[in-house]
Structure 1
Amino acid sequence: MVPSSPDAGPSCAGSGEGAQGPEEGSAGASQAAPATQSPRKDLLARKARILVEFLLEKYTKKEPITQNALMKIVSSKYRQHFPEILSSVREHMELVFGLEMKEVDHRGNIYTLIRKLNFGGNDCPRDEGALPKSRLLMVLLGVIFMNGNHANEEEIWEFLSMLGVYAGRRHCIFGEPRRLITKDLVQKEYLNFHRVPNSDPLCYEFLWGLRACVETSKMKVLEVLAKFNGRVPSSFPDLYDEALRDQAEGSGLRGAARAPTKAEASAPSRAKSCSSSHI
C-alpha cells in the first residue's frame, strides 16, 4: 500500500510555510508495503500521489482540471500507463477525501471535483462537515487492522505520506494532520493513541478506539482497505478470516470476555484496547 520512499511533489494548497515533509529514505518502511512490490508499480504509485496533490490544489483554488495538465505531470514517458494511474487517483480521491472526479467537458477533456455524499454505510464520525475525516479514519483503521491491530507512529505517517499528508504540514482538507489523528479523533474515541510501555527509544502507537469498535467493523474496514488497493476482501486471507470471525460474533463491544492471543499476552498494554483483541 505504501511506496518504499516518498518522492517530492507539489504541496496541497494552504500548506504551512516552512513546514517539514517526511525525510527522504525514511528508516522505517511500513510493514504494509508488499516486499514483492515491483519498481514499476512503486513508480506509478508515486506518480499517482503527485496527481492527488495536484488535484487537491485545483480543488482548493476551484480551478478546472484538464487532461493535458494531468498527462504533463505523468510525462510522456509513462503515457501508456496514464489510464491505470488516473484510475488509481480517482479511487483514492473518493475513498480518502470524499471527492468524485467528474468530466464536465468531453470535447476538451475538462474535469472538476465534487463532494461525494455517501460512503458505503459508514456511520462514523457523524459531525457536520466531517465526511472527508470519516473517510480518512476508515483508511487509518484499515492500516491499524492490517498491522496486527496496532500501528506505531512511523507506520501511520509512512502511509499518510503516500497521500501527501505530513505531520506539521497543514493540509487543505484535513487541517493540521497531527492534531487531527492524535488529538481530535482520540478525544472523540475513534482512535487510541498511547506510549508503548518500556519503549526505548520512546515510541507511540495507534489502536482502534471505543467508538470505532462500536460504530464500524473489521469487515467494513477491510472492504475499504481492499478497494483502496484495487482488490477484494478475500484477497487478504488472514485479515478476511479475522473479519469473518468478528462478523460472526455480532456488532458492538464483543471481546471483553475473550482470552488474549499469544501476541496480546506479550503486550499487556495493547490488551486494554478493544482494537488489540476484539474489534
Structure 2
Amino acid sequence: MPLRQRKKLKASGRPQAKDETSGRQSAQAPAAEGESQPSSSGVTTRRKVAAGSCDALKQQGAASTTASIDAPGTSSSKRAIKRKQSSSQAPVSTVRSPRDALTNIAGTLVQFIMHTSKKKKPIMKADMLKIIPKKYQKDFLEILKRATCNIEVVFGVDLKEVDSTEHSYTLVSKMNLPNNGVLNRSRGLPQTGLLMNILAVIFLKGNSASEETIWEFLNKMKVFAGKRHFLFGEPRKLITKDFVKLKYLEYRQVPNSDPACYEFLWGPRAYAETSKMKVLEFLAKIHNTVPSAFSTRYEEALRDERERAEASDT
C-alpha cells in the first residue's frame, strides 16, 4: 500500500485489514464466564466427546426413529419434533439461559464420568462437584440427572450409586457385553447404546429389519458404514461381525431373495439379557415419553413379559 494511503487510513482511525489467514478468529468460541474447563487429563476423550455431543446424539436418535421407524404416533410427540426443527432454524441468542448452562455443565460431567470410568477409577460425588462452578453446585442433582440420562441413551449404561455414605458411583451396562460394553478397548467407550437402538429398530419393524432399514436409521444418527465414528469405531464391522459373533444380532440373507438381500434379527443373547419391554423403556426415554406411546408394539411387549414370568415360575 502506498505511503500516502497508509497515512490517510491512520488519520481516519480505520484499522488496516489483517492478513486473511493471520487475522482469522478461532472457530472455537471461548467458554461462558463461570463454566468449568476440562482438566488436562483425559484431553483425548474430552475432545472427542465434546460438550453437548451426547445431547446431539440423543436428539438425532429420537428424530431418526420418529421419522422412519414407526415412532409414537401421538400428536404431542410430532409437535415436539416440529418445535425442535423450527428452533434449530431460529437465530442464535448470545445470552445463555440457566437451562443452557446446566445442559453444558451436564455435558462436561458426562465427559468426566466416562473418562474416570475408562481409567478404572471410582466415580466420586466430591470429584464431580470440583468440575461444577460454585454458583451451580446447588443444582447438582438436576445436573447429575441430565448427565445420567445422556450416558444411558448414548452409551447404554446406567450410573449406579454403590456407596451412599461416600457417594461413590459406577457404570453398569444394560446388557452383559464383554468388558461392560466396551468392545474396542483402545477406545474405552461402551457400545451398548448403539446395540439397544438397533434392537429397538428390529422390534418396531416387526422383529426383523432389512439391512437397508438399519443403515437408513443409523445414517440419520450420523453413523455411516465404512466411516469411523468417534464413539463406535467402524460401524459395519461392529454390527455385522462383532455383535453377530457375540450372538446379540442375527444377520442373514432374506429367504428366496434374488438378488440377495439381508436382514437383522435379535440374537439369542439379546433375548436372554434384555426384553421387548426394556427396549421400549429405553426408546421411550430417548423420546421423553412412556412405553405405551408405542402402541403398535406395547401389547406385544406386555405379552412377552407375561410369558417370561410364567416360564420363570415353571
TM-score for both structures, normalised by structure 1: 0.54
Q: Matched residues in 2 for 1:249 and 1:170: separation?
A: 40
In the other structure, the counterpart of 1:17 is none
For residue 234 of structure 1, the aligned residue among 289, 292, 296 is 292
Cross-structure match for 1:52: none
| Gap regions ≥5 residues in structure 2 | 1-46, 50-66, 118-127, 137-142, 152-158, 160-169, 184-188
> What's 2:193 paired with?
135
Q: CA deviation at 1:142?
A: 0.8
> Max radius of gyration: which structure?
2
In structure 2, which of residues 212, 229, 244 is the aligned counterpart of residue 171 of structure 1? 229
1:100-139 alignment to 2 at 5 Å?
A: 104-106=131-133, 116=159, 117-118=170-171, 122-128=174-180, 129-130=182-183, 132-139=190-197
> Does residue 44 of structure 1 match 2:96?
no
Task: Give CA deviations for 1:233-258 in whole Å, capped at 9, x if unaligned.
Answer: 1111231111111011116999xxxx
Aligned residue number for residue 150 of structure 1? 208
Secondary structure in structure 2 of the residue aligned to 1:192: strand
Distance in 2 between residues matched to 1:168 and 1:154, nearest whole Å: 15
For 2:70, give the aligned amino acid. Answer: A
- Alpha-carbon spacing, 1:108–1:176, altered in 2? closer, same or farther (3 Å): farther
SS at match of 2:199: helix
**Is 2:279 aligned against 1:221?**
yes
Q: Deviations over 1:28-86 (max 9, x none)?
A: x73436788869826836998xxxxxxxxxxxxxxxxxxxxxxxx98349x99x96xx6
The answer to whether the 8 A contact 2:254-2:260 is kept is: yes
Contact preservation (8 Å) 1:213, 1:253? no
* Residue matched to 2:302: 244
Within the alignment, does 1:182 sit opposite 2:240 as a pair? Answer: yes
Quick one: percent identity of the two aligned structures?
42
Structure number having the greater helix percentage:
2
Partner of 2:92: 75
User: Per chain length, whose mean CA-contact separation is higher, i.e. which structure has more relative contact order (CA < 8 Å, sep 6+)?
Assistant: 1
- How much does 1:201 deviate? 4.2
CA distance 1:136–1:248, shift in 2 (3 Å): same
Other structure's SS at 2:174 match: coil
Task: Name the Cα RMSD after superposition.
Answer: 4.7
Contact 2:208 2:265 in 1 (8 A): yes
CA distance in 1, matches of 2:179, 2:311: 22
Contact between 1:214 and 1:253, CA under 8 Å: does it hold in 2?
no
Provide the secondary structure at the position in 2 that maps to 1:249.
Answer: helix
Q: CA–CA distance in 1 between the matches of 2:204 and 2:261? A: 19
| SS of equivalent residue, structure 1 residue 132 | coil
**Retained in 2: the 8 A contact 1:13–1:171?**
no
Structure 1's unaligned 5+ residue stretches are 1-11, 15-28, 49-72, 255-279
1:119-146 per-residue CA deviation (whole Å, 9 max, x = no partner) reads: 5x72331335346212221121111111
The residue type equivalent to 2:68 in the other structure is S
Question: Secondary structure at 1:193's aligned position in 2?
Answer: strand
User: Is 1:30–2:68 an aligned residue pair?
Assistant: yes
Question: Is the Cα contact below 8 Å between 2:72 and 2:294 reproduced in 1?
Answer: no
Distance verdict in 2 for CA 1:75–1:125, change over 3 Å: same
* Deviation of the 1:209 alpha carbon: 0.2
> Aligned letter for 2:303?
R
State the secondary structure of the residue aligned to 2:190.
helix
Q: Secondary structure at the match of 2:301?
A: helix
TM-score, scaled relative to structure 2:
0.49
